[in-house]
Amino acid sequence: MKNKIDSLLEKREEALRGAGEERIKQQHEKGKLTARERLEILLDPDTFEETDMFVSQRSTDFGLEKVVIPGDGVVTGFGKIGGRDVAVFSQDFTVLGGSLSETNAEKICKIMETALRIGIPVIGLNDSGGARIQEGVVSLGGYADIFLRNTLASGVIPQISVVLGPCAGGAVYSPAITDFVFMVRDTSYMFVTGPNVVRTVTHEVVTSEELGGADTHATKSGVAHFVYDNEVETLLNVRRLMEYIPSNFMDPVPKRNYRKKGKELREKLNSLIPEGSDKPYDMKEVIAELIDDDFFEVHATFAPNIIIGFAHLGGQSIGIVANQPSVLAGVLDINASIKGARFVRFCDAFGIRLLVLEDVPGFLPGTEQEWNGIIRNGAKLLYAFCEATVPKITVITRKAYGGAYDVMNSKHIRGDYNYAWPSAEIAVMGPKGAVEIIFKKEIASAEDPVAEFHKKVDDYTAKFANPYIAAARGYIDEVIIPAETRKKLIFAFGLLKNKVDRIPKKKHGNIPL
């Protein structure tokens, strides 16, 4: 038996070496960690249990029979984050560039299927040159096998993609299906076709960073939800994300210990809203006053006119969707609508309560928005809120104009609790625009058109630009003093803890994609 055990230990050592010290050195020179070093940072100490360590590629074409390395370029297994079980795969760029082979894909699919059966998250660490060219359609089929499992697992277990190197061609579609994508500046790249192909086909000269780098996807395309400066920071923030999300759609959302401190009043909120309704302020200051501790923002640099992210309120994990008056006055546009809709649907899928902070002047006008589908894309956010059955609370801090009032979790689309501050303005449009339409002829024929215009604006403001007509009709449950907001939210979310809401029986809806 001793000889057999020694043989096993030898084989393990061989698998742990990957493609050897020289390749590992090259990986480090690029500022990148190895597949196993990444798992050591991501997972709780001494919790990783590897599977399929000795699986190797089967192809013998184009000299591949000479490159048989245990593990075949991906490390798979199970571990813990914060004491909770997770399934992980970590692509090993030192082995044939981390390229996806038939057996490589089988290993990934195997842990995904297990994760789906037992209800735990899947975290993929991507660092791959793409499909293994020598295997042809077999490797392409492996990608499709992964895509199918990504899709079947969607909404059942959280799926997180961490892009720590190249991710090109068909490889990009697996992260795209998953719930959250993390990237690292200067070392992460995602694109369907690389710079050389782009140059050949469209004659555009572009670098890998410009085409598909971390900041490009975090600001322009919206593919990346989180971007950090190095791998260690990135992996630690994956651990942080896990503090807010459950292991599957049936498990309770993680809680933190919470001790009530006094009356929970936040006096600063009484002075955050400027007197003039056209003056900006930072909604993140409002968020900071409402939550227990730090706000974990998602998509921080993409469509910054809307804010989304996770926080704890009274010890409970919540998702926050908030208009940002300091960027484009908080207007809803195509990107903001898509950003908000996907986040709302994630929170609803996994039972995470939603808090909506509303200060929105409407949807962004203009030919660019209309021709690119603001109607279809704005409807995505509307659809997401209508469909969501988790507890949903809205606080209108200032503007709630037009269709955007309806969309931002109004009472009409099953908002559970709808509060308004005294500064709230709930109307079809702003007073100036409304007066220009309603009293156009009257103002034009007045002796002093300017004075008449201002008088009409004041009259309209007094009548409509306040929360009381909506409150009188029950569209607003309560007009509250801003300082009381945190206390009210803790009460309302506590009241809604056993909420049951349903949608009509169906196979699935047809969201306006």
- Please, is 106 exposed, middle or buried when counting C-beta atoms within 10 Å of its C-beta (0-12, 13-18, 19+)? middle
Closest CA to 225 of 171, 169, 160, 293: 160
Catalytic residue from among 322, 336, 404, 434: 404
Q: Phi and psi of 318, rounded to 5°?
A: -135, 160
Q: For 438-471, b where at least 16 C-beta lie within 10 A, e where not — what string? A: ebeeebeeeeeeeebbeebbeebbeebbbbeebb
Question: Catalytic: 169?
Answer: yes
State whether the Cα torsion 415-287-302-274 is positive or negative: positive
Catalytic residue from among 141, 373, 403, 433: 403
Amino acid at 72: D
Catalytic residue from among 169, 378, 402, 415: 169
Question: Catalytic: 63?
Answer: no
Closest CA to 86 of 111, 59, 56, 60: 111
Q: Give SS3 for 50.
A: strand
Question: Catalytic: 170?
Answer: yes
Q: Give SS3 for 441.
A: helix
Catalytic residue from among 119, 141, 155, 170: 170
Q: Give SS3 for 449.
A: helix
Closest CA to 222 of 266, 265, 269, 180: 180
Question: Catalytic: 300?
Answer: no
Structure tokens of 127?
A: 């660092």
What are the catalytic residues? Answer: 169-170, 403-404
